[in-house]
Amino acid sequence: MKSVAINGYGTIGKRVADAVAAQKDMKIVGVSKTRPTFEARAAVNKDYPLYIGIPEREHLFRESGIEIAGTVDDMIEEADVVVDCTPGNLGKANLEKYKKAGVKAIYQGGEDHELTGLSFNSFANYDDSFGANYTRVVSCNTTGLTRTLSTIDPICDIKKVRAVMVRRGADPNEVKKGPINSIVPNPPKVPSHHGPDVKTVMGDIDVTTMALLVPTTLMHQHNLMVEINNDVTIDEIIDAFEKRSRVMLVDASEGLGSTAELMEFAKELGRNRNDFYEIPVWRESINIVDNELFYMQAVHQESDVVPENVDAIRALLEMESDNEKSIAKTNKAMGIL
């Protein structure tokens, strides 16, 4: 049984904690918060030992009556691996801590690839992180692109990929973020970070991305154009998506023609927090015109990277050498078909 600590119990951290707790071969030894929020209280109610990220704030937790087990420095002493889910760009300072404590660590997509020199996707490059000390699960959008591109890659001789990504403006709880009434090229230059990021896990694939922010919080949405050198049929693409776990074909004709309806459908799946771990691909959108494959997909940004984090733990700690076996264990424990 391996010991896992979660540094940063926010949108991603609280989900990774629950996913880890659901596995048979790993357990949570601590989660960290910087403020005594409802999430801190929820962690204690779940019996996750709670540690504080900013020791000077200990009195705030005491005044709120929220029991703490110690500081983040104490927490990482207890762990075989830390999953760092702090906001982007804290990674460098945290890495010094992890190195000093001799503990392995997994970062999220808000950090640059250069921090670890290694990025992770369960399907595309699990082996690269096997036994490594530090890796980084690529961002939610990059995970979405990699999930579907790595599915079609074995049957398509891909010449180049172009993708336009419509990014949600903020997460549902981010009251201070926008846009509220605008469409924002984000970034207003090409490529966005997503294309280069796919290359960190899929090697020399030719992929270029553009991205914009829109006033919605539910999901991101992607539009992919994949030039291919060989003859592949639409049925073969559909068959590949149907066989791949963590990708789900959905039908607009069944009332799933928008991100709003997809998130309503997620409630029917009966998962923790109504999360949608799979990448839904609209079946009707799949088309091939003049050796160019087109498809549209969506990404539930709060949850798609969660199963990847669990697999990354098994890779770093050499708990399972076969990525498919880790994926199957993670999926089973999380209720992913």
Ligand X SMILES: O=C(OP(=O)(O)O)[C@H](O)COP(=O)(O)O
Ligand Y SMILES: NC(=O)C1=CN([C@@H]2O[C@H](COP(=O)(O)OP(=O)(O)OC[C@H]3O[C@@H](n4cnc5c(N)ncnc54)[C@H](O)[C@@H]3O)[C@@H](O)[C@H]2O)C=CC1
Tell me the closest approach of the beta carbon of residue 98 to ligand X, in angstroms: 21
- 141 contacts ligand X (rule: CB under 6 A): yes
Contact flag: residue 216 with ligand Y (CB under 6 A):
no
Identify the H or E element spanning 77. Answer: helix 72-77
Residues across the chain: 337
User: Does 139 engage in binding with ligand X (CB under 6 A)?
Assistant: yes
Tokens of 212: 């914009």
What CA–CA distance (Å, rounded) separates 71 from 266? 36
Nearer to ligand X, 196 or 257 (CB): 196
The tokens 């078909």 sit on which residue?
337
Per CB under 6 A, 139 contacts ligand Y: yes
Q: Which one-letter DSSP state was computed for residue 88?
A: T
Task: Decide if 285 contacts 240 (C-beta within 8 A).
Answer: no
CB neighbours (10 Å) of residue 235? 9
Q: Binding ligand X by CB under 6 A: which of 2, 147, 167, 222?
A: 167
Candidate residues 86, 122, 150, 301; the one interacting with ligand X per rule CB under 6 A: 301
Residues 6+ away with beta carbon under 8 Å from 105: 81, 82, 83, 84, 94, 95, 98, 133, 134
For the beta carbon of residue 191, count every other beta carbon within 10 angstroms: 17
Q: What CA–CA distances, in Å, run from 140 to 161, 187, 194, 254, 307?
A: 18, 16, 9, 26, 11
Which tokens hold the place of 104?
């392995």
- Reading across the β-sheet that carries 104-107, which strands appear in turn? 70-71, 50-52, 26-33, 2-7, 81-84, 104-107, 134-137, 119-120
Q: Give the whole-angstrom CA distance, residue 32 versus residue 108.
A: 16
Q: Which of residues 8-67 bind ligand Y (CB under 6 A)?
A: 8-13, 32-34, 53
Q: Which is nearer to ligand X, 193 or 271 (CB)?
A: 193
Q: Is 70 in the site for ligand Y (CB under 6 A)?
A: no
Nearest to ligand X of 125, 301 (CB atom) = 301
Of 146 and 331, which has the nearer Cβ to ligand X?
146
If one asks whether residue 200 binds ligand X (CB under 6 A), the answer comes out as no
Q: Is 85 among the residues known to form the active site?
A: no
Query: Could you tell me which of 85, 81, 84, 45 has the C-alpha nearest to residue 66?
Result: 45
Catalytic residue, chosen from 31, 44, 85, 140, is 140
* Binding site partner of 142, from ligand X, ligand Y, none, Cβ cut-off 5-8 A by kind: ligand X
117 binds ligand Y (CB under 6 A): no
Residue from 109, 195, 280, 307 touching ligand X (CB under 6 A): that is 109
Positions in 155-174 near ligand Y (CB under 6 A)? 171
Q: How far is the CB of 165 from ligand X (least distance, A)?
A: 7
Q: Taking CB within 5 to 8 Å according to partner kind, which of ligand X, ligand Y, none is near residue 77?
A: none
| Candidate residues 32, 116, 142, 330; the one interacting with ligand X per rule CB under 6 A | 142
- Compute the least distance from the CB of residue 263 to ligand Y, in Å: 14
Give whichever of 34 and 291 is closer to ligand Y, judged by the CB atom.
34
Q: How far apart are CA 208 and CA 259, in angstroms?
A: 24
Closest distance between ligand Y and the C-beta of residue 139, in Å? 5
Cis previous bond, 154, omega within 30: no
* Per rule CB under 6 A, count of chain residues that contact ligand X: 8
In the list ligand Y, ligand X, none, the entry touching 8 (Cβ below 5 to 8 angstroms by class) is ligand Y
Binding residues for ligand X (CB under 6 A): 109, 139-142, 167, 194, 301
Q: Which residues are catalytic?
A: 140
Binding residues for ligand Y (CB under 6 A): 7-13, 32-34, 53, 72, 85-88, 90, 108-111, 139-140, 171, 301-302, 305
